[in-house]
Amino acid sequence: MSTASAFSSIQGCWFKGERKIRVADKRAKRLTLGSHVASPSSMSFRVSASSSVKPEKDIRIGLLGASGYTGAEIVRLLANHPHFQVTLMTADRKAGQSMESVFPHLRAQKLPTLVSVKDADFSTVDAVFCCLPHGTTQEIIKELPTALKIVDLSADFRLRNIAEYEEWYGQPHKAVELQKEVVYGLTEILREDIKKARLVANPGCYPTTIQLPLVPLLKANLIKHENIIIDAKSGVSGAGRGAKEANLYSEIAEGISSYGVTRHRHVPEIEQGLSDVAQSKVTVSFTPHLMPMIRGMQSTIYVEMAPGVRTEDLHQQLKTSYEDEEFVKVLDEGVVPRTHNVRGSNYCHMSVFPDRIPGRAIIISVIDNLVKGASGQALQNLNIMLGYPETTGLLHQPLFP
């Protein structure tokens, strides 16, 4: 996992130029990867013909947890990707079903039948997106062929500190050795490490909205490390597709509810990232809320500025930090970010406001939880890991209204 030094080049480090894709190399690699099988262990994967889809693109993608919301979102994004093709998809309860029957909106794509993880043949893919619930992922990923590039969307590999993981997630870490090679996938901040990574831990959706504005400000010493207060809101799709009483329409509509007050598991992830860049322990007060909407996430962040710093300085720092970034947009002063304006897209919009109380500022940051907060950022990361332009498959505009 990367350290503070990895945060040192926030600006000007992403490649805008079209990197030449070595198709021949990729094809050669595919042949090599074809000979890998999972190592024998208590959890073994059957090597069988699980895909009926003939690959027509360069990179064959395996999708673990394809029958969930983030899995479906990756399939939607890959429809416009010229190089990545889903050739293997897994499900749990829905194993054996066609993707079309689980997600009719994806029926236009040629997709393989959903298989259970134990029946999946990982020797037939080049890279994997893992969209499984946290707590189920470590054991599965540690048995995958080591040649595979993997982006894990779950929280299982995000925390460097094993004791901290076990404390916040309430279970033993089952892949301690693997944890050491993990790179945290906050793309705009850690791009250089992601380029070299084999296994990327994709950030949580709340931590993405929070770290993107705060990392450049902490790095430039413009805000204090103390008294950072975050009031965050999420659409219900953030909770996944699994049936839960608390997520019934009658429980969600016409009201909002706070949850995880003082103990949400994203707190250590946020504090890890902010402390790395501040090079001292940063603590935050973080309260998430469930909103009566399907997609979208907003973090409203209250900070104390360093002595002599004005909100214009915060705004200018964010503008400079992200001026070359496609997916992070710092809005003009006074313009309020809205989840509507990023819906269905990989964009993050942010803005800074002076608080009425002298010395304080209010930062607002919005994303689509399923795109920049999950599947979009995951695709951005895999593009980078495989040497493709990072915007590939991600440049569609937000869906408004």
Ligand X SMILES: CC(=O)N[C@@H](CCC(=O)OP(=O)(O)O)C(=O)O
Ligand Y SMILES: NC(=O)C1=CN([C@@H]2O[C@H](COP(=O)(O)OP(=O)(O)OC[C@H]3O[C@@H](n4cnc5c(N)ncnc54)[C@H](OP(=O)(O)O)[C@@H]3O)[C@@H](O)[C@H]2O)C=CC1
Which residues in the 180-209 window bind ligand Y by CB under 6 A? 204-205
Binding mask 272-301 for ligand X (x = CB under 6 A): ----------------x-x-----------
Question: Which amino acid is present at 254?
Answer: E
Interface with ligand Y: number of residues (CB under 6 A): 30
CA dist list (Å): 376 to 72, 288, 336, 345, 348: 11, 22, 23, 8, 11
Distance, CA of 341 to CA of 367 (rounded, Å): 9
CA dist list (Å): 85 to 76, 192, 228, 256, 328: 11, 25, 42, 39, 27
Query: Which of ligand Y, ligand X, none does residue 62 bind (CB under 5 to 8 Å by kind)?
Result: none
Its sign, for the CA torsion 396, 153, 3, 215, is positive
Binding mask 125-144 for ligand X (x = CB under 6 A): ---------x----------
Residue of 60, 94, 158, 266 that binds ligand Y (CB under 6 A): 94
The count of residues in the chain is 401
Which residues in the 348-367 window bind ligand Y by CB under 6 A? none
Contact between 68 and ligand X per CB under 6 A: no
Minimal distance, residue 241 CB to ligand X, in Å: 12
Binding mask 111-150 for ligand Y (x = CB under 6 A): ------x-------------xxxx-x--------------
Interface with ligand X: number of residues (CB under 6 A): 10
Distance, CA of 232 to CA of 246 (rounded, Å): 18
Q: Quick one: 128 or 132, whose CB is closer to ligand Y?
A: 132
The β-bridge relationship of strands 328-330 and 257-258 is unpaired
Which residues in the 243-262 window bind ligand X by CB under 6 A? none
Coil, helix or strand at residue 242: coil
CA dist list (Å): 170 to 119, 163, 164, 365, 375: 29, 10, 10, 30, 26
Query: Which of ligand Y, ligand X, none does residue 288 bind (CB under 5 to 8 Å by kind)?
Result: ligand X
Look up 205 and say whether it is catalytic: yes
Q: Quick one: 3 or 41, whose CB is closer to ligand Y?
A: 41
Give the HSE-up count for residue 18: Cα atoms under 13 Å, Cβ half-sphere: 4
Q: Quick one: 130 or 384, whose CB is closer to ligand Y?
A: 130
Partner residues linked to 284 by β-bridges = 228
Minimal distance, residue 295 CB to ligand Y, in Å: 8
Contact between 154 and ligand Y per CB under 6 A: yes
Q: At what angle do helices 266-278 and 205-219 cross, to 10 degrees?
A: 20
Contact between 98 and ligand Y per CB under 6 A: no
Of 13, 130, 131, 205, the catalytic one is 205
Contact between 84 and ligand Y per CB under 6 A: no
**What is the distance of C-alpha 285 from the center of its chain?**
22
Residue of 238, 344, 376, 393 that binds ligand X (CB under 6 A): 238
Which residues in the 141-170 window bind ligand X by CB under 6 A? 154-155
Query: Which of ligand X, ligand Y, none does residue 168 bind (CB under 5 to 8 Å by kind)?
Result: none
Contact between 239 and ligand X per CB under 6 A: yes
Partner residues linked to 201 by β-bridges = 152, 184
CA dist list (Å): 55 to 40, 58, 84, 174, 358: 27, 8, 9, 33, 60
Query: Which residue from 302, 299, 318 is spatially nearest to 372, judged by alpha carbons?
Result: 299
Residues of this chain that interact with ligand Y (CB under 6 A) are 65-71, 91-94, 117, 131-134, 136, 153-154, 204-205, 237-238, 240-242, 369-370, 373-374
Residues of this chain that interact with ligand X (CB under 6 A) are 134, 154-155, 204-205, 234, 238-239, 288, 290
Q: List, by residue number, the catalytic residues.
A: 205
